[in-house]
Amino acid sequence: MEKIREEKDMNESRQEENKKPTVYRIWRALKGQSEEKAEELTLEREQILDEKVLEKHRLDHEKMLEKTYDIEHNPIYGFFRRFYKVAGVLCCLALIIILLVQVSYLPPVGSSSNPGSNEVAAKYIEDGLQDTGAVNIVTGMILDYRAFDTFGESNVLFIATCTVLILLRNDKKKGKDSAEAEERRDSYYEPKNDVILQTITKVLVPIIFIFGIYVILNGHLSPGGGFSGGAIIGAGLILYLNAFGFQKIERFFTEKTYKWVSFGSLTFYCLAKSYSFYTGAHHLESGIPLGKAGAIISSGLILPLNICVGLVVACTMYAFFALFRKGGF
């Protein structure tokens, strides 16, 4: 009874409050006074005191979750799964058919009158040797005519290593324990000091390295170049690692080596290409001699760039493998 009266009082006073002119209220707010009845307007938290109700809510929630995410027994979910699968397969078939139709309208393979063999390709073939000094036209094209793409591509490799580093590098703060445990687990699956493997590796690795270096250095003369040669050297390093383990390889190749080699090569690449882009755009002579066609030391910047790319790729490939194996170098 009393409560009702209280409420009535409050309502009346609120109505009075509302009757006062707006200007007065704004004035009061500006002066810093709060509204008289404002403190009664706070929201109250909803409170459920009954334990049983809470329990029931929890059970309901669990049941709902079970029903929704129980994949095998929920018919609606199962239907959607099947529907999704069928629709997806149909989409892929449709994609294949569309692409087949598309290809059947394209210009025929192997004919010399395709739109592809136009003045651009002709220029690369006819003037490539004079412009770039590279006997291998493809190398001349990717490292001189379209060098910006290739620079972007080395950056793709660089950034991929960075992301793999984020994911797989062992944290230093966890201490050596986790790294050691990882290595122990790793070595468990590996026959250490296998005589056959080590002997063969001793013979093979120098050959692989020499072949890789040959491919890199002859990138402008014969098929290959920085990427393939670097991958070959990287494969050699991986073989050496597998035969002799991390301790031996750490004598000449650590994370620090990787960091500085890739930094140095990429920096050289970036500076060299910036120089050549800048001079090119301003129609200045680059002043780099092209040398005699067909010699090892020829074709201007292409050889040093190939070496840089080779170093980056070799280090990156090895770094990928080392990170996958141990989470570090």
Partner 1 sequence: MLLFGANFISNIGEEVAMVLFGIGFANLLFQKNLIKKIIGLNIMDSSVYLFLAEKGYIEGRLAPIVVNGIQDVNTYINPIPSGLVLTGIVVSVSVTALMLSLTVRLYRRYHTLDLDEISARLKKEGL
Partner 2 sequence: MKIFEYMLLAFLVLCAVSVSFSKNLLNSILIFMSFSLIMSIMWILLQSPDLAITEAAVGAGVTTILFFATLKKIHGMEEDPDQDGEDQGGKRHE
Partner 3 sequence: MAFVQNVPFFSIILSMFSGIVSSVLPEKQAKWLNTAVITLVGAMSAWLLSYLLEVGGSFTFMMGHFPAPWGNEIRAGALEALMALIFSIIMLLSLLGGRKKLKDEVEITKHNIYYILTDLLLSSLLALIYTNDLFTAYVFVEINTISACGLIMIRQNGRTIEAAVRYMIMSLLGSGLLLMGICMLYDLTGHLLMSNIKESVQQIMAEGSYRVPMLITIGLITVGLSIKSALFPFHAWLPDAYGYSTVSSAAMLSSLVSKGYIFLLIKIFYRVIGIDIIRNSNILNVLFVFGLCAMIFGSVSAIWENDIRRMISFSSVAQIGYIYMGFGLGTEAGMVASVFHILMHAATKSMLFISAIGLTDVSNGSRHFAELTGSGYRNKIAGIGFTVGSLSMVGIPCFAGFVSKILFAQAAVANNAPVKIFPTVIVLAISTILNAVYFLKTVIRIYVPEDPAFEKQQGYLFFQISRQKLYGLTIICFIALNLVLGMMSQPIVHIIEIGLQNFS
Residue 41 or 195 having the CB closest to partner 3: 41
Task: Give, as one character, the DSSP assignment of residue 2.
Answer: H
Picking from 257, 251, 247, the residue whose alpha carbon sits closest to that of residue 318 is 257
**315 CB neighbour count, 10 Å cutoff:** 24
At its nearest, how many Å lie between partner 2 and the CB of residue 329?
A: 15
**C-alpha distances in angstroms, 307 versus 66, 230, 233, 318?**
60, 9, 12, 17
Task: Give, as one character, the DSSP assignment of residue 329.
Answer: -
At its nearest, how many Å lie between partner 1 and the CB of residue 319?
A: 9
Binders in 121-160 for partner 3, by CB under 8 A: 121, 123-124, 131, 144-149, 151-153, 155-156, 158-160
Q: Give the tokens for residue 136.
A: 């291998």
Q: Give the tokens for residue 214.
A: 């040959």
Q: Does 49 bind partner 1 (CB under 8 A)?
A: no
Q: How far apart are CA 273 and CA 144, in angstroms?
A: 9
Which position among 26, 59, 64, 125 is part of the footprint of partner 1 (CB under 8 A)?
A: 125
Q: Does 263 bind partner 3 (CB under 8 A)?
A: yes
CB 215 within 8 A of CB 309: no
Report the b/e string of 164-195 with b at 16+ CB within 10 A: eeeeeebeeeeeeeebeeebeeeeeeeeeeee
Residue 119 or 177 having the CB closest to partner 3: 119
Q: Does 254 bind partner 3 (CB under 8 A)?
A: no
At its nearest, how many Å lie between partner 2 and the CB of residue 325?
A: 6
Which position among 18, 22, 111, 247 is part of the footprint of partner 1 (CB under 8 A)?
A: 111
Q: Does 133 bind partner 1 (CB under 8 A)?
A: no
126 contacts which partner out of partner 1, partner 3, partner 2, none, CB within 5 to 8 A by kind?
partner 1
Q: How far apart are CA 128 and CA 137, in angstroms?
A: 6
Q: How far apart are CA 212 and CA 252, in angstroms?
A: 18
CA dihedral (95, 97, 98, 100) in degrees, to 10, reads 120
Which position among 183, 215, 227, 240 is part of the footprint of partner 1 (CB under 8 A)?
A: 227
Q: How far apart are CA 312 and CA 294, in angstroms?
A: 25
At its nearest, how many Å lie between partner 3 and the CB of residue 182?
A: 17
At its nearest, how many Å lie between partner 3 and the CB of residue 262?
A: 7
Q: How far apart are CA 314 and CA 239, in angstroms?
A: 13
The residues of the shown chain that bind partner 1, judged by CB under 8 A, are 65, 69, 71, 85, 88-89, 92-93, 95-96, 99-112, 114, 116-117, 120-122, 124-126, 128-129, 135-138, 141-142, 146, 149-150, 153, 156-157, 159-160, 163-164, 167-168, 222-223, 225, 227, 293, 313, 320, 323-324
The residues of the shown chain that bind partner 3, judged by CB under 8 A, are 42-43, 45, 98-99, 101-102, 105-107, 114-121, 123-124, 131, 144-149, 151-153, 155-156, 158-160, 162-163, 165-167, 169, 171-173, 259-260, 262-263, 266-267, 270, 274, 276-282, 286
